[in-house]
Chain A
């Protein structure tokens, strides 16, 4: 149903990458994975994913910096960014809301809820 839609999962934890990747694939999304912000940013530029699911605490480039970098790209090509966060930092919600097409997902998150949010972005109704 959404075979042409690509989701990029960026997390330094392999188990999270694995479970999110599996869940998305089951729901028909093409999945790209990256271990850190730097690798993720490269894939955003080269593979132009429709949705980016990213952690915040990552090596090299963290989630916040990645958002700032991709915000400029979204002017030309809009895409959704979902930030997986513990929402501990008091200003976290503020800076996420200031970004274009960016929403947060509180940890520990539900993969089913993640799919629901992505589907809603694409206008797909879950049965």
Chain B
């Protein structure tokens, strides 16, 4: 309040000073005009009067002249008029009001003696009137005969003359009008600014500006103050936004990094993943599925899922799942992509992607290649069927032969003996089969471990051969030894290696007709100890050779099938050799014979090594 009064006083002082200066200027201008009029009038009169002869003034005409002069002087400017002769004596003269004017002597002397037009002015003592005196010499026939003096009085000018007052009133009117117009104009001009200010205040939040008080009760101050405050808030907001932006950029960077990492993880997963939105449009497909579908990522993104997968069975499955509640639990079907991956079987699972409120936000389809699992499952099933068959065959024999004996259907004693022998053989067959199956089982789970030790091959050879010698003699089969002068030593699991070699020797004996020959050789080659078992048996057909180490494989050769066998011996032998980091191979010719070779790396033996 105090500030506004001070401001008002200052404005008033400036206003009054302005008026005063303006009025003074007006007076000075008036004075200049009057002085100029006096100068013109004085100069005109002083130029004209000396043209009359002196004699005119000395006669009666002189009075007439003075009357004419007084009439002429309507403005009553003339203070005095004198004509002097050369002696300085006044020939004719008059003064306003008839009183003598106290003209300073210096003025009079200079005027009386002047030789040319002389203008001088002075202030009268007492009245303070300003007198302009015009003097000029008078000539007659080229001789100076005297001088003429004319004194004109400068009228006192009033600063507050009617004219000046009118002018001032007009100026005041114009100033007032200008002020009103300016006020109106400024108000109009400020309106958008006020709107901006108000909008800014609103944009910055009323709560924050509510506490702001604007100084002054004018129009501009609140706006400017409001703008300043708004600007401050905007600046703070901008800083905050910049900080937020940096944080967001950082978070975005982290999110992008995480996203890329997830995409990489998804791409490294060995099954297909497709993620679709609630409209079943594809959002992501991992590399595995892209490779399977033989498509690029751009070809599948935002495309309908059914178009991307192009499999009616899967589309039907997904539609079927849509009919159920979105439980989020994965359901699955097995399907194929015959054109893309012929022969492969895929398990298609689908799960709903749920948000925190358990609303569906999309779907995830998993495409898992189950071919190897299916093959493994088939192989397992096949293995079980095979094992059951192999176990049931000796059991069937035991049951059949014993049943016939019990039923008393076999009366012949020799035949009875044969039957008992058969039951005995089949029991051994069954137990051997079970042992082999246990070995196979150990190999399958990887629990078969070697107990390595030093093997003296000379003793090893005899050990192995002694197990078949009796049976060989029965079939009149010769056993030949092809042995080196110096027996190599070997580090191996003696019992297992012996089982492997005896398997080969047993097969040779089984599948070699009477009067044949079995040759057992031992040697050393490229730091490997070699065991060769060669027979003169039935031989193995060329097309069957690659399968002889497969579990349960048995030759279709009737000479082979007539002999008892489970088809497990060679696969166990091969596994034992593999565990010793060795090699096994077979060469054979139908009707000529077969040669199996086992090679075992010859490790250096150290005391205490296992």
A44-52, A56-64, A75-83, A93-101: which lies at the interface = A56-64
Q: Restricting to A26-51, which residues have a CB under 8 Å from any CB of B?
A: 26, 35-36, 39
Residue on A nearest B558 in the bound complex, by CB: A35
A19 contacts chain B at the CB level, 8 A cutoff? yes
Asked if A74 is at the interface of the complex by the 8 Å CB criterion, the answer is no
A14 at the interface (CB under 8 A from B): yes
Q: Are A109 and B558 in contact (CB under 8 A)?
A: no
Contacts of A22 in B (CB 8 A): 404
Chain B interface size range: 20 to 34
Known pairs A86-B389, A112-B407; A59 contacts B554 (CB<8 A)? yes
Q: Verify A86–B409 contact, CB threshold 8 A.
A: no
Q: How far is the CA of A84 from the CA of B393 in the complex (A)?
A: 10
Asked if residues B558 and A16 are in contact (CB atoms below 8 Å), the reply is no
Across the interface, A59 reaches (CB within 8 A) one of B393, B398, B561, namely B561
Q: Report if B395 contacts A (CB, 8 A).
A: yes
Look across to chain A and name the residue whose beta carbon is closest to the beta carbon of B401.
Answer: A19
Q: Are A108 and B400 in contact (CB under 8 A)?
A: yes
| Cβ distance A97 to chain B, nearest Cβ, rounded Å | 19
What DSSP secondary structure best describes chain B's contact surface?
Answer: helix
User: Assuming A15-B422, A15-B426, A107-B396, is B386 touching A57 (CB within 8 A)?
Assistant: yes
| Distance in Å: Cβ of A62 to nearest Cβ of chain B | 11
Q: With A and B bound together, what is the CA distance between A51 and B459 in angstroms?
A: 56
Q: Which residues of A contact B561 (CB under 8 A)?
A: 12, 14, 35-36, 59
- Complex Cα–Cα for A60 and B544 (A): 12
Q: Are A107 and B392 in contact, with the CB atoms below 8 A?
A: yes
Expressed in whole angstroms, the Cα–Cα distance for A110 and B409 within the complex equals 14
The reply to whether B404 and A88 contact each other, CB–CB distance below 8 Å, is no
- Number of contacting residues on A, CB 8 A? 28
* Contact indicator B558/A23 (Cβ below 8 Å): no
B400 in contact with A86 (CB, 8 Å)? no
* Cβ A57 vs Cβ B389 within 8 A: yes
**Is A20 part of the binding interface, using a Cβ–Cβ cutoff of 8 Å?**
yes
User: A112 and B389: CB pair below 8 A?
Assistant: no
Beta-carbon contacts under 8 Å, B376-391 to A: 381, 384-386, 388-389
Q: Is the CB–CB distance between B556 and A19 below 8 Å?
A: no
The answer to whether A108 and B398 have CB atoms under 8 Å apart is yes
**Residues A88 and B388 in contact in the complex (CB < 8 Å), given A12-B561, A14-B562, A15-B422:** yes
Q: Verify A23–B397 contact, CB threshold 8 A.
A: no
State whether A108 touches B399 (Cβ < 8 A). Answer: yes
A26, B409: Cα distance in complex, Å: 8
How far does the alpha carbon of A15 sit from the alpha carbon of B393 in the complex, in Å? 9
| Nearest CB in chain A to that of B407: its residue | A112
* Chain A residues within 8 Å of B403, by CB: 110-112
Chain B positions near chain A (C-beta within 8 angstroms):
381, 384-386, 388-389, 392-393, 395-401, 403-404, 407, 409, 422, 426, 554-556, 558, 561-562, 564
A-B contacts, 8 of them at CB < 8 A, read: A15-B422, A16-B393, A20-B400, A23-B404, A56-B389, A59-B555, A88-B385, A111-B404
